[in-house]
Every structure is written in C-alpha cells, then in structure tokens.
Amino acid sequence: MPANFSSLRLSYNFWGDSDEKLNFSLHSINFDINQARIGANTPFTSEISAELKLEQGASVESFSDLGRLLSDSSLFQPGTGVNLPQGSEVIDKTTSLFRDFIFNFVNENLSLEYVDIGISANNLIDEAIFKNSVIQVLIHPIQGEGEKLFDWAWNVKLKFHANWGGTTTLVNPPDPSNPNYQPDAALFYPRLSLPVAIDEERGQSLTDDKGTLLSFNDELRLNFELLYQRGESNTDGPTLPSEVANSIGKASDELTDSISSLANTLNTNLSSTFTTRLQPAGSSVTNDLALWVLILKGTEAMSFSRFEDYMDAIFCTIDHRGAEAERAAISRLSGSRSLPFMNIDAYRSIKIAAEAFVTVNCMVDGIFTDKDVEKLKERVPLVDGNFDKTALDKWWNEYQQEINFLSIVEEPKNNFSVVEKKLRIIPYLAVIKNKLKDQDLKLTTFGDAFEQYLSPDLEQTANTCFGLISDRLSYPCYLELIWSYWHEESMMVQGLNAISRRFQNMKGKGRDPLAHLELDPLRPLNNLLWGYVQDEQHRLTVRRRAYEYDHHYGIRLQGAATKSMQFADSRSKFIEAFHRLLNLVSRFYNQADDMTVNPDAYPVLNGLREVHMILSEGAHNQYGDMPSTARAEMLMQQWLLARPEFRQFLSGRTMVAYPEGWMEPVATTNTMMGWTKSSPLHFRNLARFGEQLLLSVRFCNWTDTTAPAAAANWSHFWREQIQGYIHAYRAVTNVDLSSDTAKVDLNQPSYHLMRQLKAQRNGRSRA
C-alpha cells in the first residue's frame, strides 16, 4: 500500500564541536503483507520500504563536506580508528559508514507493531503472537548521477516477521471481567512508530512529524485489517486457542455482503442517469514552471497596491513591521541621497522609500509557499497534479545550473586565501556566463568597497576591480520597461506634469481645465508637489524613456515631446513577433478547449524562441538601470496621484470601482484635457500582463528548449495574462490580436491610439 509521506523529516544533530544538522526526507513509503492468513505456528511477514534523501544544507554541499562533518562530530570518538577519509575515497566509504553508524540509529528507533482496533483483546495474545517476532532492517544506497551528494538516496526496508505459537491461556468459562478473558475475535492493524529519542553517546536525535504519522497510521488502519478468530473451546479443561480458520475468507464474505447491500441501496435510491465529462489533456512537468512561479510572485510584489501598503507602513502608522525588509535599504540610501533645495525633506523621503522598494522587491528570493503551489495547480493541468512545496523546491534546484569560481577570503591576522565557491543561476544566464568564461566574478560593488574604505570598522571583504557582477547573475531584477510604456500611454505622467505646470502658475493653450487647482499649504500634498517640481531635472524625461522603449521593443511614442527623434538601434521586428506569438497561443487555446483534440504546442515554441532572441538583442546599454529607475519614479507619481487631496479639484465618478487609487484622478484628467477615453484600468492591465509575459520569455532559455511540453505549460500558466493582454489591447486600440487570420497587426500601438483619439474628437469614437 503506497502512501505519501514526504513531510516527514529525520534529523540528526551532531553535538560537541559542531551544531550541524543533517535532515533526511522520506519521499515515499510502501507497505505490503506477504502472508495474509495467520494461525497457530503460521508465520507472516510485513514489509515497509522507504526512500530517504538528504536535504541540501548551506554547509553540506559535497561528499567531502559530509565526511568532514561526520569525522568532526562526537559520533566518531577519538582513538576508535573510525574516521572518514577525505578526497575521492569519501564516495565509497560514506555509504557504508552511513549503514554502520547513522542508520543503526534509525534501526533502533523505527518500529513496526500491530495494534488492536478493537474487538478488544488483552496483552496476552499480543505477546503470544509477537513472542518470536523479528524486525530486519535492510539499507542500500541508490546512486544518482555523477558524484553529487544530493543525487544519492538510501532505500530503507523494514521486514517484520511474526509467528503465533498458539499457546495463550484463556479463561473458562468466559468472563469479560477477568483480565485473562479472550474474546472470540480481534482486529489488528500495523502501526509505524518513530519515537523521539536521543543517543547521549552518539549525540544524535531523531524527530518526526506527529501529525503526519497519525495520518499515515490512519491510512494503514483503513486499508489493512487482520481478523483473528478463536476456534472451538475444549470443555474438559482450560480453553486453548486452536488454529485460526479461514479468517480472511470470512472477512471477504462479509465485505461481499456489504457491497451487495450497498449496491441494492444505490440502485433503489439513485437515478440510473450518469453524467460524463471530458477532461483537458494533462501536461508533463517541466522544471521551468518554478521560474514562472517566481516571476509571478516578483511582479505581484512590485504592484502599486503592495507599494501603497508599504508607504502606509512607513508614513501612516506606528507599526513598521510591514516595511522591515526595506529598512536596511532605506537606511543605506538615506545617507547618500541628497537634494540641493530648501523645504523638500518630505519629497526626499518618499523618493528614497520608492527607490528602496524597487531595489529590494525586484529580486526574487526563491522561497515557495502553499499559495504558490495552489496557483500552479489552478493554472497548469499537470499529469501528476499531486505536488507540494518540496516538489517546487526540487524543480527549482534542478532548473538552476551551478557555476564554480574562485574567491578571496579574509582570514585572521589580515591573511587572505583563495577558495573555490559555487553560484546557482538560471540556464539563460548560465549560457551568457559561459560566453564570458574568461571573465571573473565581481563579488563586491564599487559602492560597498567605497563604504568599506571610508569605514575601516566595517567588515572587510575582498574586492576585484574587474569582472561580472555576481548579484546580477544569481539575482536578476525581474522588471520590464513595457510596464512604464503602457502607463505612459495612459497619460498618467502627462497628467501629473500638467498639474505640476498649473501648480507653478503656468497656463496651457486655450482654456484652462485646471483653473480650480488650489492646494493650501496646510496639507502634505502641497509640500510634496513643491519638492516634485524642484527635482524635475533629476528625473527621466519623456524623450529619454522613448529612446529606450524603441531600443527594447521597437515601440515609439507619438506627440510633441517626441518629434524629430533619431533612433540608433531599434527592435523593429518585436511588434510583429510578439503579436504573432499571442495569435499562435490563442489558436493553441482553441485546440486545448476542444477536449477531443491534443493541442500542438510546436508553433508556440517557435514563437517563443523568436521573441526571446529579439528581447535579448535589446538587453544592453541602459537595460540594467532604466527599468528600475523608471519604475521607482512612476510608482512615486502614482502614489502622489492617489493622495486624497486630489479629490478636491479632480473629483471623478465615485461609483466606478477602480482597483488602484491613482486611476480615478488620471481618468478625470484625461476627460478634462480631452485625452483618451479608454479606462486607465486597461492600460494598467497591459502594463502588468505585458511585463509578466515578457519576463517569462526573456529569462527562460527558449533557444535551447526543444520539448513542446515547456511551451504548452507556458501557455497554460500565463493564460490569464495572455488573454487579459489581448482583451485590454483591443479595448484601447480596437485591434483583436487573437483574430484567426494569417495577417498579424504590425502597426505601432501609438498609431492606433492616435487614430482612436482623432475618431473620438470627430465624434466617431466607440467610447
């Protein structure tokens, strides 16, 4: 009987000179009984087999590390001659030492016993049955690929041999009040026991999850029962148990009668009409699923709602726990960010807070939660949908690649040594690192090195002047500039700029829609706008961003501010490739929704390769800093627009349920200025969904992916984003990217937006 037992942990604490701990996971447990008919002198054997696998720890990364840990621990006493060798022999020796020393402890604490479930039997029969019982533990290593420690597992098999000699003393006549009374029958089930124990000499502890054990034992109880039946009693003397007669046969007959009775009841009370339903074709697991889960987590952590909660935690409450993760970044930036203007401390504080928020949250931590598991189950119809956080961790670890590099480590007395270290990075960046294999890694930034130079009391770390920035390999910033582009097209930035000009008493052409802008100095927004206006020369301009939109995606802005721009390097093929990909995925969905068809993911895979290559061509020059800088500035602008003071002169439609506070002032400004009538919600969705899609295409190594299952999983996982993007694009441009035609729209989004604006002003707008 197989059972899921993955949450059980076996922990070994090595005391003495080291506080290290080794954790083993039980990946599976199977229970079988070889002899199901039990009588006097009739032995039976039960067997439990399990697979133990060492969990990866920070200090144990190889067989050499494991050997060092075991040799240094109090498990191996000096003078006994038992020491683990170092070097190549460790691989051969470690497993045998595990058998002899480590797993002996498992043998002493794992037990398999049989417990009465009750047609009540006393201890005499239990002792008689198991009087000659033996538990046998068989352990052998399951070797994985190469010499990687965490590719190895150990198979643990417990065989329980029991034999009932048939010599139990019974009471005659039967007397339930007598402690030696035996009933006619008793039901028994096997129970696995993993008691907590400590071996003082070896310094080990064995711990288990009691809740998991209870669930597992309940499952055993439900799936396996043995019936003991006493034979005819001897009326001339003491009653002795005779051979158990066909106990399993009797249980089988009773079960058959019960099923027959149930069938008759169902036939009588239920309709004979049954509902059948086709299920969508399941996909096989691909390890890049873990990357997409992390991208989804990272982009949601960067949302305006999350930013607003973060800002409220800093400026609006006394409970600052919500901003704890960013506190260190704020403290560091506060000492280095200054502005040469009077009365702008309030604005400076929100600017630093916005930068710290983006800096901390754009990098994903690689920690999975139960919520991540549920989201993945909802999004992708996997063939094996029974997975948990452990499986996600495994997929992520298997997806990443390990690179080795040399590092200078400071030792006591200002001595330094060179040691080999490892870095885990995603496959796409591993390919780039391999192209630059002649370059070392730069572990300390110039900023950190400068701080260490100015403050000798700080912990000193070795630094190199040249090389690849290690943090950008291991923790890339998951941001896309397309998020800023679509918020720019919503006229959010232009609306706040118009408010800023009116704040400075500048009148625009024609009538003044913002004539009632009167911000008294008693409220914070007045001083915040003062600082915002003073700091204009330190923010990105529209033209600066427009040049980079074209470099990343070949997308251009239209308007007076972007006239006569000369672009040096444009991704002119991006719009066609991206729109074709969305069209191909839409066709894939049509096939997938028809459950009589197995959808073809190869066209989607080819489309992903093409978009990935175009995106990677634009990942140069300002790519490393422009998306994060633009994001921090626009989040700050959204937060200013969401301030309640704006409702005084930018009152909108109260009954419209905008999900983010900045949307209503933007919609009101667009109406007052005669700009787009499309809802800011559509532009927000284009920004959010577009960023998530392009991140998943950019950072997955599609050029080296040949399995169509990966493209199918990508299509299923991002279906909400893909169909949401297509709908929002049609809402603002009147172009359907999912249209089942061979022709793909190649025009600039800004072209369609200007066309819609002209139609709106001529009275022919759909809105």
According to DSSP, residue 437 is labeled T
The whole-number average pLDDT for the span 56-77 is 56
**What pLDDT is recorded for position 454?**
74
Pairwise pLDDT comparison (645 vs 211), residue with the higher score = 645
User: Rounded to the nearest 5 degrees, what angle is found at the Cα of 123, between the Cα atoms of 120 and 125?
Assistant: 80
The predicted pLDDT at position 462 comes to: 58
> Whose structure tokens read 């008759």?
264
- Asked whether residue 303 is domain-assigned, the answer is no
pLDDT in tens, 317-367: 776 665 667 777 887 788 778 788 888 899 999 999 999 999 998 888 778
pLDDT of 156 reads: 59
**Distant-in-sequence, close-in-space partners of 241: CB < 8 Å, separation ≥ 6:** 40, 125, 166, 167, 168, 170, 182, 230, 231
- Asked if residue 564 and residue 465 are part of one domain, the reply reads no
Above 60 in pLDDT, residue 687? Answer: yes
Question: Tokens at residue 153, please?
Answer: 């597992």
**pLDDT score of 473:** 86
Q: How far apart are CA 447 and CA 333, in angstroms?
A: 11
Higher pLDDT residue, 94 or 381? 381
pLDDT tens-digit readout, 553-587: 999 999 888 988 999 999 999 999 999 999 999 99
Q: What is the mean pLDDT of the chain?
A: 74
**Is-contact 225 251, C-beta < 8 A?**
yes
- What is the pLDDT, as a whole number, of residue 702? 95
Percentage of residues in the chain having pLDDT higher than 70? 59
Alpha-carbon gap, residue 148 to 563, rounded angstroms: 59
What integer pLDDT is reported at residue 256 of this predicted model? 53
Residue 412 in domain: yes
Lowest mean pLDDT among 43-52, 128-137, 505-514: 128-137
- The stretch 191-196 carries a mean pLDDT of 55
**Secondary structure class of 727 (helix, strand, coil):** helix
Nearest to 763 by CA among 703, 684, 677, 637: 677
- What are 478-515's pLDDT values in tens digits? 999 999 999 999 999 999 999 999 999 998 777 888 88
pLDDT on residue 74: 44
Q: What mean pLDDT do residues 530-548 have?
A: 95
- State whether 148 and 35 are in the same domain: yes
Q: Is residue 691 part of a domain?
A: yes
- pLDDT for the residue numbered 677: 92
Compute the average pLDDT of residues 680-692: 97
Say whether both 19 and 100 belong to one domain.
Answer: yes
Question: Do 563 and 470 have their domain in common?
Answer: no
271: phi then psi, degrees, rounded to nearest 5: -70, 155
Q: Higher confidence at residue 69 or residue 332?
A: 332
d(CA 448, CA 428): 28
Task: Give residue-wise pLDDT tens across range 224-280.
Answer: 444 333 434 344 433 333 333 344 444 445 545 555 665 565 556 554 555 566 667
Nearest to 619 by CA among 563, 685, 577, 574: 574
Q: Is residue 318 part of a domain?
A: no
pLDDT at 57: 58
Cβ–Cβ < 8 Å for 39, 48: no
pLDDT, tens digit (0-9, with 9 covering 90-100), for 276-296? 666 677 788 899 999 999 999
pLDDT band at 123 (very low <50, low <70, confident <90, very high): very low
For residues 399 and 548, membership in a common domain is answered with no
Give the residue with greater pLDDT, 760 vs 149: 760
Our count of domains for the chain comes to 3
Among 451, 474, 497, residue at a domain's last position: 474
pLDDT of residue 241: 36
Estimate the share of the chain in helix, then strand, then coil, as percent rounded to the nearest 5. Answer: 45, 15, 40
pLDDT (tens digit per residue) in 355-367: 999 999 888 877 8
Coil, strand or helix at 378: helix
Residue 750 has pLDDT above 70, yes or no: yes
**pLDDT of 177:** 56
Q: For residue 521, count other CB atoms closer than 10 A to its CB.
A: 9
Q: Is the predicted pLDDT of residue 743 greater than 60, yes or no?
A: yes
Contact 208, 110 (CB under 8 A): no
Q: How far apart are CA 729 and CA 735, in angstroms?
A: 7
Q: Which of 227, 261, 295 is the last residue of a domain?
A: 261
Mean pLDDT of 133-139: 49
- pLDDT score at 689: 97
Distance of CA 694 to the CA centre of its chain: 19
Whether 744 has a pLDDT exceeding 70, the answer reads: yes
For residues 74 and 88, give the distance between their C-alpha atoms in angstroms, rounded to a whole number.
23
How many residues would you count in the chain? 767
Residues 683-689: what's their mean pLDDT?
A: 97
Same domain, yes or no: 442 and 589: no
Domain assignment present for 386:
yes
Average the pLDDT over 733-760 and give the result: 90
Rounded CA gap, 356 and 628, in Å?
A: 11
Residue 429 belongs to a domain: yes
List the domain range (segments joined by +) for residue 184. Answer: 2-261
Statement to judge: residues 15 and 116 lie in one domain: yes
Cβ–Cβ < 8 Å for 131, 165: yes
- pLDDT tops 60 at residue 99: no
518-538 pLDDT tens trace: 888 998 999 999 999 999 999
Strands 441-442 and 468-469 come out as parallel
Closest CA to 601 of 610, 589, 619, 616: 589
Q: Is residue 336 part of a domain?
A: no
Q: Which amino acid is at 175?
A: D
Q: Is residue 275 part of a domain?
A: no
Last residue of a domain, one of 261, 283, 307: 261
CA distance to 63, 498, 643, 680, 730, per residue, from 491 (Å) = 59, 10, 18, 9, 18
Could you tell me if 629 and 548 are in contact, meaning their C-beta atoms sit under 8 angstroms apart?
no
Does 176 lie in the same domain as 52? yes
Taking alpha carbons only, the member of 696, 734, 724, 746 closest to residue 296 is: 696
* 445, containing H or E segment: none
**427, 419 contact by CB (below 8 A):** no
> For residues 97 and 312, which has the higher predicted lDDT (pLDDT)?
312
